[in-house]
Chains A and B, each alone.
Chain A
Amino acid sequence: MIRYLIKNNFKLMFRNTWSIVVMLLGPILVIAVLSSAFTELMKSYEGVDEFSVGYRLQEAADGHMIESAKAAGEEAGILFYEYPEGDIQDVMEKNELAGFVEFSEDGYVVYKSGDYEVEGITLEYFMHRAMQEGVNAVLRMEEQDVTLPVTELEFMPAVDSVDYYGIIYIVYFCWCCSICATGVLGNEKKYGIVRRFQVSNISETQNYLSKFIPLTLVVSVAMAVTTGITILLFDIHWGNPILSAFLVFMMIMAGNALSLMLYNISDNLVITVIMLFMVVWFMGFFGGSFETYMFSSWPDLLKQLSPIYHGNRALVELSCMGKSDYVAGSLLYSLAVTVICSVIAIMAGSIRKRGRA
């Protein structure tokens, strides 16, 4: 019996032209602006060749670790040469080094050169990863002969900035496009339509599904169209189309469940929209929506907590490497968010209904 509810809610959302236009144009504009702004950085990053860096050990520094880092660096195209003496800046200039690392007992310092901006960032990222791996290895008590797993250092897929932002902003919008339900939810409340639902036998679950299903349909269609347009306009390369579409679809469902949950809890549209944007902004902030996740230096835990990080990483890696270890994680994460938020939304709705003053 909720067939007709779904159908009419779908029509309502679809006729909300304003939100449809925002949904369609939003990602296109953002991708156009951001991808051109970051083209410089990403383009050179993509074409980074082998480069040389210098290093120096202070007395108490751990030699094993440095040897392993050197080996891993060679695999990744970073050649380390030792320069024990001299002013670091002079040494860098004289030997045309792209960077310099000074190891000490409790860490390292990376020196970068203005002439080698991209190499500098790459070196920084490499050091960050290498140290992380090294620390992990130490924690695993493999103090002798630490070998850094070089496969893990496949961190530099040659993704171009247009592809990166073209993918990442579709993901970002998937999470907040549920705002196109606000028209329906707002009217239901404003005009007392919820009362009609109360004077009937539809359950909270049916009520929830009658919003969730059409919302997912509308957002999916809109996202498919806008993705299609961005592909035509900017020549964005997605990886495996079916898998990518499925990943995006799952995130759309998660975003919708999240916002319906926020609405059922707060019973207030303004709060819902603000909360949704805040939550999504934070997830995007740590997940690589504003700063590319490869270069962001957020603690790994914060990144891993963000479902957007998993989605971004899975989709970007699918695009540039054809495979990704993050696919399963992203799917599971989206599914978990969808299920948990739906259950909470239905519970919150029925509690509110039961206790309605």
Chain B
Amino acid sequence: MGGIVLKTTDLTKKYNNKAVVDNLNIEIKQGEIFGLLGPNGAGKSTTMNMICSIVRPTAGEIELLGKNPWKQKKEVIHKVGYIPQELAVHGNLKAWENVELFTSLYGIKGEQLKKAVNESLEYVGLLERKQEFAKNFSGGMKRRLNIACAIGHHPELLIFDEPTVGIDPQSRNFILDKIKESNKRGATVIYTSHYMEEVEAICTRIAIMDNGKVIACGTSEELKRLVNGDDEHITLEEVFLTLTGKKLRDYTE
């Protein structure tokens, strides 16, 4: 434990001169499950995309596993597993073909690839259905497949961008359990969501983000104390609403 996996310094992204991510400073240590919590449009996905070298930052520094993901992409990107917010799978490919396609991007091949595909599918509980086309999967199964496509190369850092949107409690709990399991096996996890219970259940540390800024960061106890002094009888949801306000999000003011 202890090494720093991710550090951002004044990370900023502007669209049309409006800062969507605004001087963001976060530091994530090895072995953590770091929760990034925030309302719609807070800039969570944009932050993740900058870290994964998908969206170019306007300003600021990123240090990912000791490297700059924009300048030293080749040396570091294969250590990252990115699970996008969208269901990024091909409907016209079977489950196993999807996993094979995306796992092969990391240079895994032959028997090793076959093994990795089966392991990934088993991990998300889709092994028996590997011969089915992704387009025929239910929403929850697609979510699980979406995860399977990003873990075959055993990444050191797993980035989940809202992996539980639109699925039932059983699938959600399954996914949360799996995230904890990956963490136990040694992966550091960044977990993005706007569901309080989830974040509280699995994350070791939580950052609350709004309007592109981190407005609070700490363990769930620390956050509760921050809002309500010594009163422990507050839910994280109340903390969240207190800190981010009750106004409807994604509105242009």
User: Which A residues contact B (CB, under 8 angstroms)?
Assistant: 1, 3-5, 8, 11-12, 15-16, 183-184, 187, 191-193, 195-202, 354-357
Contact = CB atoms under 8 A, between A and B. Distances in A.
29 contacts: A1-B107, A3-B109, A4-B104, A4-B113, A5-B105, A8-B97, A8-B100, A12-B93, A15-B92, A16-B92, A183-B92, A187-B90, A187-B92, A191-B87, A191-B90, A192-B84, A192-B86, A193-B88, A193-B89, A195-B54, A195-B82, A196-B82, A196-B150, A197-B105, A201-B77, A201-B107, A354-B56, A355-B56, A356-B55
Contacts of A198: 52-54
Interface in B31-66: 49, 52-56
B82 A357 contact: no
Contacts of B107: 1, 201
B88 A192 contact: yes
Q: Which of A5, A183, A196, A354 has the most CB of B within 10 A?
A: A196
A356 B56 contact: yes
A153 to B, nearest CB: 54
Nearest to B15: A357
A195 to B, nearest CB: 5
A4 B97 CA distance: 9
Q: 5 shortest A-B CB distances, which residue pairs?
A: A4-B104, A200-B105, A192-B86, A199-B82, A8-B101
Interface string B105-126: 1110100010000000000000
A191 B88 contact: yes
A357 B55 contact: yes
Given A3-B104, A5-B101, A193-B90, 14 more contacts: A16-B92, A184-B90, A191-B87, A192-B88, A195-B82, A196-B149, A198-B53, A198-B54, A199-B53, A200-B77, A200-B105, A201-B74, A354-B56, A357-B56
Nearest to B87: A191
Nearest to B91: A187
B contact face: mostly helix, strand, loop, or mixed: loop
A269 B49 CA distance: 24
Interface string B145-159: 000011000000000
B249 interface: no
B67 interface: no
Given A1-B105, A4-B104, A356 B97 contact: no
Contacts of B85: 192
Contacts of A1: 104-105, 107, 109
Contact of B105 (A11, A15, A191, A202): A202
A319 to B, nearest CB: 38
Contacts of A11: 92-93, 97
Nearest to A207: B105
A121 B49 CA distance: 65
Nearest to A355: B56
A10 B168 CA distance: 35
B136 to A, nearest CB: 13
Contacts of A195: 49, 52, 54, 82, 84, 86, 88
B166 to A, nearest CB: 15
Contacts of A200: 77-78, 105-106
A12 B90 contact: yes
B100 A4 contact: yes
Contacts of B137: none
Contacts of B77: 199-201
Contacts of A202: 105
Contacts of B149: 196
Contacts of B49: 195
A191 B149 CA distance: 14
B73 interface: yes
B106 A201 contact: yes
Given A5-B101, A11-B97, A201-B77, A356 B54 contact: yes
B103 to A, nearest CB: 8
B45 to A, nearest CB: 10
Contact of B89 (A3, A191, A201): A191
